[in-house]
Structure 1
Amino acid sequence: MEETTAVLRDRAREWLAHDPDPVTRAELVALLDSGDDAALADRFGAHLEFGTAGLRGELGAGPNRMNTAVAMRAAAGVADWAGPGAVVAVGYDARHRSADFARATAEVLAGAGCRPVLLSGPLPTPLLAYAVRRLGAAAGVMVTASHNPARDSGYKVFQGTAGGAAPGEEGAQIIPPADAEISAAIDRAPFADELPLGTAVDPAPEGLTADYTAALAALPIGDDRDVRVCYTPLHGVGGPVLRAAFAAAGLPAPYGVAEQDEPDPDFPTAPFPNPEEPGVMDAAMAEGERVGADIVLANDPDADRLAVGVPGGRLLTGDEVGGLIAEHVLRGTSGPDRVVATTIVSAGLLPKIAAAYGVRCAETLTGFKWLVRAGGPGERNVFSYEEALGYCIGGDDGRPVMDKDGIGAALVLAGIAARAKRAGRTLLDLLDDQARAYGLHRTAQVSLRTDDAARIAGAMRRLRDRTPRAFGPLEVEGVEDFAPGAGGLPPTDALRYRLGGGARGRVTLRPSGTEPKLKAYLEVVLPVVDEIDDVRREADGHLEALKEAVARVM
């Protein structure tokens, strides 16, 4: 133990000698002086891994934290991968230290001979994804931790023309082997204070945001504009850009939620600023009722996700929003080459909608790096979504953003609500229409959180060794194992059970890619032949029993 502690303290002193940031140097000096070896072990016993989601972790000193030194070495890896002379767009959100990490990234890129373009202030992630395409950049870097708590930061890399990208992939998140190539280049990089820095950092071109909002205004929003919207950016960066997009599309300016409208890296009203979390949308829903809004919309702090609620009603699930957008987009676009896409953990509704409109529905692994690439030669991906509130929308002229975009989705939802309002209806009425047409699809999640990764691996191994005969009242009629690469998909650690009995349904289990937990995605499907409220109660009864059974199995 003493030797391990000594090794950790040596690593910490070596890091301290090369840390260019006075903030984290002071933190590390204090830790060394305090004798807090557990804290040193947490920072220096491991390091943040760079993968297809980039980097994400808690702010602090050391290789297992997000800090200036880690951001600089990541930038060196991106520069090595992109190559000299490459244009690299750099954006950042309003979190603690985001602007510092973005500036340091740009200086390292410049020092490596790249041509960094630094976006002007804290801006949404989808705008950075748009900028990669708009600038013809080799790559893009976004400093963001999306909807994580205030203590976190992150680093996301977007594909441009670098790394042998396929035509049309510009602006999408990187996929293998780019992640491994960048990770290897990071490992080869010298200490942060040994990296050459440059000052040739270009500002983003004037009018970039206006170009983005104009492109969004061309989405299939519809013709109706009479809608009252209440909107919150959840202390993030979405507000000004969303309002500009509403204006460009000719939609009325949304009402705000005063205490959440300005960027605040501490997220004072939403410590975990994910609109899926219980209570996070309460203030917006209450304000929506107060102002008589037709719908309530919320972006997460970097504005790539969208949550939707009906005042006086309820919040919609990501699958419900996905179904509404899909039908609206397919009604507003044309052509036999259209394709829509969703993931292996999302509801089974989208394939039914696609079939009704005569288009193909593709299924991918989780993550928009896969979703936006769905579709074969001669196909046009007009809509992709995943249940975690992410939506990518295109029109007959293509997709302005090759990633999930909470601002573009907000415009389309406003258009859907306006069309419903003209008919004296709400989004909840539209959901009932879909249930009658395609069956009622009710979904839920169950998670097992643990600090022991072996426990998660053991659970998946036991399930592969012995398939359950039933989950509560529903019998297992079949199982798909995605580990070998089922259905032509890349291999992933997931199992999906097809259920029958008192209702149709399925259960999909997979380890989370970003958190230490095992996740189960549940779905119950019933035909609507009687009163829909009665069918909904029956489905919810099956769903509750299914949740209890799955929790026991997990």
Structure 2
Amino acid sequence: MGSSNNSDLIAQAQEWIEHDPDPETRSELLELLKANNTEELDDRFSSRLTFGTAGIRGIQGGGPNRMNRLTLRKVAVGISQYLKSGSSVIIGYDARKNSEVFATDMSGIFSHYGIHSHIFTKVIPTPVLSFAVRQKSADMGIMITASHNPANDNGCKVFLADGAQLRSPIDDIIDQQIELSQLPPKEIAKGLGRIEEIEDKIWIEYCETVANTVGELSGSLAIAYTPLHGVSWETIEHVFGLKGITNLITVPSQSQPDPSFPSTPFPNPEEAGVLDELFNVAQSSKADIALANDPDGDRLAIGVPQSNGEWRTLSGNEIGALLCNRMLQVTSGQNRKVVSSVVSSSLTEKIAEEA
């Protein structure tokens, strides 16, 4: 890399450090400058994190190509430019490193731009955030999470006013606003936007709404469950408790939030081997079914026992077919639609034809 490029790189890093409110990532970048580590600096400053699957996520660290407080503050500026003053946003967060700090930072940016924030005071699963957007008729929802990514990642998922995840072309519009925005200063002046806490009422309403979607269940049903070190256990326990299901057997080492994910470096329930501990618990406890969520609770895996005593994970197509069949059982009339993607099984189409 030439001296001119090196000078530009150093200038970018110094400007970033001047605006970065986090002493940890500032120190990280200062060390790279001190060591003249231009290769690492180039990786962090030659590009930036951009919107991907319904939001933005990446490895935590200093610089625009890493996830950090300044990166998400800049995201909040871009969202503010899209929403405009007077809009309202619901903010939730999981138990990953810095999630609560990121949520607080984003609410401060929104306030500065006249956008009202309603922020949860405890960790929640992502579906609760989507539910809250609709319950409070908000304009957008922000969930601080990196979903099932490795432990050192973080980011945010964005939900629109209908509670559905961010989609095209709005994602591109917001990303353009992020790219055009200036780096916000370390100290953010409070604006006209209110910052209010969300009480447990919304979470309780969510649990009750989910529980009311099914009829009575057998109290003897035994369910093995793991949140994979994530934030869903309290919600799952409460929902099943409302239906009289108390025989929930958890994987002890995975039941409580732990941002380091010690037993599963890549906590995606669809990955091979991730559910081994769950199936061991299910087998030893003679459970009827085994369930797993990813760390932010919006991905589900289901395991069922086989005649040989082993456990098998249902495929996405199998779960989709079961859900389709269930929805057709509890609804009626001709004004119903079953929509599946081109990579989905044709089984749902056959179920719909017979409904």
Are 1:252 and 2:246 counterparts? yes
The alignment status of 1:182 with 2:180, answered yes or no, reads no
**Aligned position for 2:55:** 54
Give the drift of 1:208: 1.0
- Alignment partner for residue 172 of structure 1, among 137, 151, 164? 164
Q: Distance in 2 between matches of 1:49 and 1:291?
A: 45
Aligned to 2:133, the other structure's residue is in SS state helix
1:321 is aligned to 319
The AA in structure 2 aligned to 1:191 is: L
Deviation at 1:342, TM superposition (A): 2.1
Give the residue type in structure 2 aligned to 1:234: L
1:194 and 1:188 mapped to 2: Cα distance? 19
CA separation of 1:202 and 1:332: change in aligned 2, threshold 3 A: same
Output the TM-score relative to the length of structure 1: 0.61
Alignment RMSD: 1.7
Shift of 1:186: 1.5
Paired amino acid for 1:44: F
* Aligned equivalents of 1:134, 1:307: Cα separation in 2: 27
Distance 1:10 1:147 in 2: 35
* Counterpart position of 2:107: 106
| Cα distance per residue 1:510-534 (max 9 Å; x no partner) | xxxxxxxxxxxxxxxxxxxxxxxxx
CA distance in 2, matches of 1:237, 1:213: 14
State the secondary structure of the residue aligned to 2:159.
strand
Structure 1 residue 194 displacement after superposition? 6.5
Pairs aligned (count): 348
- Is the deviation greater in 277-286 or in 184-193? 184-193
- Equivalence for 2:154: 153
SS at match of 1:235: coil
Query: What CA distance in whole angstroms lies between the structure 1 residues aligned with 2:236 and 2:311?
Result: 24
1:249 Cα shift?
2.9
Which structure has greater strand proportion?
Answer: 1
Give the fraction of aligned pairs with identical amino acids, expressed as a percent.
Answer: 40
- After superposition, give the CA deviation of every residue in 1:272-307 in whole Å (9 maximum; x if it has no partner): 000111110000000011111001100000000110
SS at match of 1:208: helix
Which residue does the alignment assign to 2:299?
Answer: 305
| Partner of residue 340, structure 1 | 338
2:257 to 253, 263, 269: 263
Equivalence for 2:124: 123
Counterparts of 1:174 and 1:315, CA distance in 2:
29
- Aligned partners of 1:309, 1:32: CA distance in 2, in Å? 50
Query: What residue in structure 2 maps to residue 9 of structure 1?
Result: 10
Give the drift of 1:51. 4.6
Give the corresponding residue for 2:77: 76
Q: Which moved more, 1:95-104 or 1:250-259?
A: 250-259
CA distance in 1, matches of 2:95, 2:124: 8
Q: How does 1:274-285 map to 2 (within 5 A)?
A: 274-285=268-279
Unpaired segments of 5 or more residues in structure 2? none
Judged with a 3 Å threshold, the aligned counterparts in structure 2 of structure 1 residues 206 and 303 are, in CA distance, closer, same or farther, namely closer
Aligned: 1:227 with 2:184: no
Q: Counterpart of 1:340 in 2: which secondary structure?
A: coil
- Looking at structure 2, the residues matched to 278 and 223 of structure 1 have their Cα atoms a distance apart, in angstroms, of 31
Query: Do structure 1's residue 30 and structure 2's residue 28 form an aligned pair?
Result: no
**CA 328–184 in structure 1, closer or farther in 2 if over 3 Å, else same:** same
1:184 CA displacement: 2.2
Partner residue, 1:536 = none
Separation of aligned partners in 2, 1:287 and 1:90: 35
Q: Is the 8 A contact 1:108 1:195 kept in 2?
A: no
Tell me the TM-score normalised to structure 2 length.
Answer: 0.94
**3-state SS of 1:339 partner:** coil
Distance 1:187 1:222 in 2: 51
Deviation at residue 116 of structure 1 after TM alignment: 0.3
Q: Take 1:270 and 1:51, find their aligned partners in 2: how far apart are those partners?
A: 24
Higher RCO (CA-CA < 8 Å; seq separation 6+):
2
User: Displacement of 1:146 after TM fit?
Assistant: 0.5
Q: In the alignment, what sits opposite 1:512?
A: none
Report the Cα offset of residue 144 of structure 1: 0.8
Partner of residue 288, structure 1: 282
Q: Alpha-carbon deviation of 1:15?
A: 0.9
Q: Is the 8 A contact 1:126 1:303 kept in 2?
A: yes
1:57 offset after TM fit, Å? Answer: 0.8
Aligned to 1:439: none
Distance 1:101 1:250 in 2: 37
Give 1:40's aligned residue.
41
Counterpart check, 1:193 vs 2:185: yes
1:140 — aligned with what?
Answer: 141
SS of 2:349's equivalent in the other structure is: helix
Deviation at 1:223, TM superposition (A): 5.0
What whole-Å deviation, never above 9, does each CA across 1:377-412 have from its counterpart, x for those lacking one? xxxxxxxxxxxxxxxxxxxxxxxxxxxxxxxxxxxx
The 8 Å contact of residues 21 and 186 in structure 2, kept in 1 or not, is answered as no
**Which amino acid letter does the alignment assign opposite residue 320 of structure 2?**
G
Who wins on radius of gyration, i.e. which is larger? 1
Query: What secondary structure, in the 3-state scheme, does the structure 2 residue paired with 1:341 have?
Result: coil
**Alpha-carbon contact 1:112-1:197 (below 8 Å) kept:** no
Q: What's the CA shift string for 1:183-233, capped at 9, x where partnerless? A: 222123221216744284100034111000111112145654541101000
Using the TM superposition, give the Cα deviation of residue 88 of structure 1 relative to its aligned residue in structure 2, in angstroms.
0.5
Partner letter of residue 181 of structure 1?
A: I
Q: Secondary structure at the match of 1:326?
A: helix
